[in-house]
A and B are shown apart, each in its own frame.
Chain A
Amino acid sequence: AQTVTQSQPEMSVQEAETVTLSCTYDTSESDYYLFWYKQPPSRQMILVIRQEAYKQQNATENRFSVNFQKAAKSFSLKISDSQLGDAAMYFCAYRRYQGGSEKLVFGKGTKLTVNP
């Protein structure tokens, strides 16, 4: 079964500093997608970044980048130059296909606090 594990329930960072959120996953598939979603308080979940497993190059979106280690099944998110607006719950997710269905399997999340 595919599982996603986020071992850090909470993290904090100083404004303008860099923070890394960890995620590991378990799968027997060779081709898949991984995602990081951000869920601000009382607001909808939005996609931060995605990584296709067949691509060796790590994905980057402005201040957000990932360290994808396929063999280790690790997918960490690095936030550079942290801003107050980055404070949120961050969820790592794996996209799973089964029959005709496609669903996201989420980790339990990491609550990120940004200190001014």
Chain B
Amino acid sequence: EAEVAQSPRYKITEKSQAVAFWCDPISGHATLYWYRQILGQGPELLVQFQDESVVDDSQLPKDRFSAERLKGVDSTLKIQPAELGDSAMYLCASSLGRESEQYFGPGTRLTVT
């Protein structure tokens, strides 16, 4: 069964360093989402892509976060510089499109020291 792949699974970085996460959605899924899940909370959407275009990045802290999906397939989420408050699980999800089920990856757990 096809799954959403994410790497790395765990990342420890120091404050002020740059960090990047990668997501490979299920083949054929046009819509890709990045969520942030702080410990003890539900996931919150950071950015949504439709193919290679951003359709919602209203909750993305654009001074330090960036996201791209250059060829409309895999995606990278970057944080520069990382801050202590960025420690969280970063989840990627994909779907065929509007009103389709979202499938989640295993996530990347980020710890900023």
Contacts and interface: CB of A to CB of B under 8 A. Distances in A.
A44 B58 CA distance: 25
A57 B102 CA distance: 23
B101 A101 contact: no
Given A100-B50, A102-B48, A44 B4 contact: yes
Contacts of A108: 40-42
Contact of B56 (A4, A98, A109): A98
A3 to B, nearest CB: 11
B42 A91 contact: yes
A44 B104 contact: yes
B42 A103 contact: no
Contacts of B98: 102
B107 A44 contact: yes
B20 interface: no
Nearest to A47: B101
B99 interface: yes
Main secondary structure of the interface of A (DSSP, over half): strand
A108 B41 CA distance: 4
B73 interface: no
A17 B14 CA distance: 46
Interface string A84-116: 000000010100001111111011110000000
Contact of B48 (A47, A103, A106): A103
Nearest to B43: A106
B91 interface: yes
Contact of A45 (B48, B50, B55, B91): B91
Interface of B: 3-4, 31, 33, 40-45, 48, 50, 55-56, 58, 91, 98-99, 101-102, 104-107
20 contacts: A42-B106, A44-B4, A44-B104, A44-B106, A47-B101, A47-B102, A91-B42, A99-B55, A100-B50, A100-B56, A101-B48, A101-B56, A101-B58, A102-B99, A103-B48, A104-B43, A107-B42, A108-B42, A109-B40, A109-B42
Given A44-B106, A101-B48, 14 more contacts: A44-B104, A45-B43, A47-B102, A50-B101, A91-B43, A93-B42, A100-B50, A100-B55, A101-B56, A104-B43, A106-B42, A108-B41, A109-B41, A109-B42
